[in-house]
Structures are given as structure tokens and as C-alpha cells.
């Protein structure tokens, strides 16, 4: 079974290599603007210092958007929420209550830093007043810096069911909780996240990390990559 999962994981990364060549490689989120994105897609984040056992970059987060029939969210709007604010009253900050990715990164930073007790207490609260958001602003800025340094690769996926399939199955394939073959580095920030699913999956994901994968999803991924 390990050999089969290794084979499927290698095929997945080979397809990402093909995708990377077709879209001129991953983009650092800090350098991205609203231009040049497909309306709908799936994204794959990498992280400096995180490599596969063979030394090539390791995917650390998979995500998508607009999985309900009524959603009007676009790929860029989702990535922009993860990136954080460029301008406004709190430039360089962000809204971790609108981005589960930012939420998880923030909990990991809290665990490894000396942050005020009120920020530690409020970070996971669903609601926050103006004063609380201002107190959280320094941490939001550090979260933004960390995520903006991460390269992101995207795949255009117009069909909603295909987006859900690629996101779900990729997480299931790579998750260390179900036998994923590539471990995190000892320095990976996610090892201090407050969610066990993040720490033990080696992904900044919580959903689908305990699911079994179906290797036939790679055929769908292959088709979509060839369509780029």
C-alpha cells in the first residue's frame, strides 16, 4: 500500500510540474494582483523550507471556493482574503475570521511568540469589536507576512463538482493522518498550530484529512492540466 500511495503521490506532483510549466510557475502571493486569474479554480500553496523526501517543494495547503450553487466567490477573491489587506485603515493586516488559513497560521504564531493575553483569548472568537480588531492587528500583520511569502500554484477548474473533487482528494492523498508519504520539516510552523489535524496531517487543512483517497481523481486532474 505504501508503494501505491508513493506512486499516486509522485503522479500528482508530476501533474503539478506540468501545470507549473503551463502557467509560468507558482506566484508569491505578495506579488499577486487581481489580474491573470481564472474565475474559478483550485489553489496549491507551498512554503519555504518545506520539501518532499526527494527534495522538491511540498504542497502545504489545498483550497478552492464557490462550492455551493449560489456562491459568487471567485478564485482571486478567495486568495485575496488569505493574503490580507493592501491598503485601508490597517494595511498589511487582514481578517482571520474570513480566512480559516489565516486563523490556523495565527494560532501557530501565538504558540511560538509572546503575544498579549487578550489577543490569545480573542483570536478564536467568531465575533470581534473594533477595539479587539485593533489589538489583533500586529498579529494579523505577521500572518500576512507569512502567507504572502508562500508560493501559490493555481489550476482553472470551471466545474463546481471538479473543484470539490480535486480539493478533497488531494488533501486525502497528501494527509499524513492517512498515510501521506511526505513528512513536514522539524521547523514547519504548522507543528505549533492549535488544531491537531493541522499538526498531524502536515497540511494547513482540517477538512478531509482523515478521508481515504480515490486515485481516479488523478485522471480528472490530468485532464484539467492538459486543458490549461
pLDDT digits (tens, 9 = 90+) for 83-103: 999 888 899 999 999 999 999
pTM score, whole prediction: 0.96
User: 5-56 pLDDT, tens per residue?
Assistant: 999 999 999 999 999 999 999 999 999 999 999 999 999 999 999 999 999 9
Output the nine-digit C-alpha cell for 107. 494560532
Beta bridge partners of 154: 43
Helix or strand holding residue 45 (H, E): strand 41-51
Q: Give the span between the Cα atoms of 31 and 103, in whole angstroms.
A: 22
Amino acid at each position: 500500500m505504501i508503494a501505491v500511495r508513493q506512486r499516486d503521490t509522485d503522479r500528482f506532483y508530476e501533474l503539478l510540474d506540468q501545470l507549473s510549466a503551463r502557467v509560468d510557475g507558482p506566484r508569491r502571493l505578495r506579488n499577486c494582483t487581481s489580474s491573470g486569474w481564472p474565475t474559478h479554480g483550485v489553489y496549491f500553496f507551498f512554503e519555504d523550507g518545506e520539501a518532499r523526501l526527494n527534495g522538491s517543494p511540498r504542497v502545504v495547503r489545498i483550497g478552492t471556493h464557490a462550492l455551493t450553487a449560489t456562491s459568487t466567490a471567485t478564485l482571486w477573491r478567495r486568495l485575496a482574503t488569505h493574503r490580507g489587506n493592501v491598503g485601508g485603515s490597517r494595511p498589511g493586516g487582514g481578517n482571520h475570521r474570513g480566512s480559516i488559513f489565516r486563523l490556523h497560521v495565527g494560532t501557530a504564531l501565538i504558540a511560538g511568540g509572546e503575544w498579549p493575553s487578550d489577543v490569545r483569548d480573542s483570536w478564536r472568537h467568531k465575533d470581534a469589536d473594533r477595539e479587539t480588531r485593533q489589538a489583533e492587528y500586529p498579529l494579523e500583520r505577521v500572518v500576512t507576512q507569512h502567507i504572502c511569502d508562500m508560493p501559490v500554484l493555481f489550476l482553472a477548474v470551471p466545474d463546481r463538482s471538479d473543484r470539490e473533487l480535486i480539493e478533497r482528494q488531494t488533501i486525502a492523498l497528501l494527509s499524513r493522518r492517512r498515510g501521506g508519504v511526505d513528512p513536514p520539516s522539524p521547523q514547519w510552523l504548522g507543528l505549533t498550530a492549535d488544531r491537531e489535524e493541522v499538526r498531524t496531517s502536515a497540511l494547513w487543512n482540517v477538512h478531509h484529512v482523515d478521508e481515504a483517497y480515490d486515485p481516479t481523481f488523478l485522471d480528472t486532474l490530468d485532464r484539467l492540466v492538459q486543458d490549461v
